[in-house]
Amino acid sequence: MSRVVYRSTFGGPEVLDVREIPDPHAGPGEIRIAVGAIGLNPMDWQIAASVRHAAMFGITGPSGFGCDLAGVVDEVGHGVAGFAEGDRVYGGVLVGAAADHVVLRVPLAPPNLLVSIPDGIDDATAAALPTPGLTALAAIEAIRLGPADVALIGGAAGGVGVLAVQLARLAGAKVIGTGALGTFDFLRQIGAVPITYGPTLPRRLRETDTGGITAAIDLHGSDTAEAALALGVPASRIATVASERRLPGVHATGAFAADPASLGRMTEAIRRGEVTVPIAARFPLSEIREAVTLQSAGHVHGKIIVMV
């Protein structure tokens, strides 16, 4: 038997059940992945909780759960090219990652994706990367950060933020990251100058000695983007992620806008020790509700990983 996380109705963590089903197997044109780790993202519990959010991804009824995973291909169906048994892979499987085994048709239909895990990257780290990594890469690319920039990053201590801060630093930019007071030591460790968020952010930024803000990434809402605009940052040098408010000229971006191949840049930086992936907590699959409860509460420094 194989376990799978199933959502029978919309709601909070209480609607997620771990069920046992007969082992799925790869048929012609399919591969099976033995899942090793699952990386949780806000979109996972938002899809589970909200009919509106789910509909944005074409989901209207009961479904599986989770997107980002890492594991090993353990079955390859007839006619499949590009995958072999024993391949270590990571990527995204929309509302289907939280399971012992995942069967996928090849070639994969977007938004699903799989890429090889490089040597030296473990399953937990790989599972933490797909959605946050692609989102951070898309935002950095949208505003084209360089050594002359001072970048303001809103939500810098979250799963995407920790990667965006480090990628911005790799690009040579100085980074100011917003967060709660309790995140300040953490933000300093990853290379950001910390500052609290709130309505007085523009005034407080003017009073800092970090130099003028030249670019901004807002990873939660639009407050950081609006603060950057108030400071005179051109809209073309500002990117928002997960904002329901459209600001004229500001880049609205996300994981969908990044080339999946660019994840290779991220894993290479990790292997060289230039980027770290903080993991805030690990849970077994049997404690999926507890993991989602912690994730959805916010204020987690880094990623929550479910180990299978």
Residue with tokens 């806000």: 42
Mean pLDDT score, 175-184:
93
Look at residue 8 in the predicted model and tell me its pLDDT: 94
Using DSSP's 3-state secondary structure scheme, residue 69 falls into: strand
Question: Lowest-pLDDT range, 56-70, 121-135, 225-239, 251-265?
Answer: 251-265
229 has a pLDDT exceeding 90: yes
The rounded distance, in Å, linking the Cα atoms of 45 and 53 is: 10
pLDDT digits (tens, 9 = 90+) for 6-27: 999 999 999 999 999 999 999 9
Residue 47 has which token pair? 């899809």
The rounded distance, in Å, linking the Cα atoms of 156 and 173 is: 15
At what angle are helices 42-49 and 288-297 packed, to 10 degrees?
Answer: 100
The rounded distance, in Å, linking the Cα atoms of 231 and 205 is: 9
Confidence class for position 210, pLDDT limits 50, 70, 90:
low
pLDDT digits (tens, 9 = 90+) for 40-49: 999 999 999 9
16: enclosing H helix or E strand? strand 16-21
Look at residue 110 in the predicted model and tell me its pLDDT: 86
The rounded distance, in Å, linking the Cα atoms of 136 and 269 is: 14
Mean pLDDT score, 247-274:
91
Question: Measured between alpha carbons, how far is residue 290 from residues 5, 40, 170 in Å?
Answer: 13, 12, 35
Q: Residues 302, 279: contact at Cβ < 8 Å?
A: yes
Look at residue 260 in the predicted model and tell me its pLDDT: 87
Instruction: Please calculate the CA angle 290-293-296 and round it to the nearest 5 degrees.
Output: 150
209 has a pLDDT exceeding 70: no
SS (H, E, C) 26-48: CCCCEEEEEEEEEECCHHHHHHH
CB count in 10 Å sphere of residue 123: 22
Residue 261 has which token pair? 């191949």
Residue 120 has which token pair? 């030296």
Instruction: Please calculate the CA angle 261-266-271 and round it to the nearest 5 degrees.
Output: 125
Q: Beta strands of 95-167 (E only): which ranges? A: 101-105, 113-116, 150-154
Q: Residues 275, 129: contact at Cβ < 8 Å?
A: no
211 has a pLDDT exceeding 80: no
Mean pLDDT score, 79-96:
96
Alpha carbon of residue 205 to chain centroid:
27
Question: Lowest-pLDDT range, 164-178, 197-211, 248-262?
Answer: 197-211
Using DSSP's 3-state secondary structure scheme, residue 59 falls into: coil
Instruction: Please calculate the CA angle 8-76-265 and round it to the nearest 5 degrees.
Output: 80
88 has a pLDDT exceeding 80: yes
Give all domains of the chain, ordered by start, each with its CATH number: 2-129+277-307 (3.90.180.10), 131-257 (3.90.180.10)
pLDDT digits (tens, 9 = 90+) for 98-152: 999 999 999 998 889 999 999 999 999 999 999 999 999 999 999 999 999 999 9
Confidence class for position 206, pLDDT limits 50, 70, 90:
confident
300 has a pLDDT exceeding 90: no
CB count in 10 Å sphere of residue 42: 18
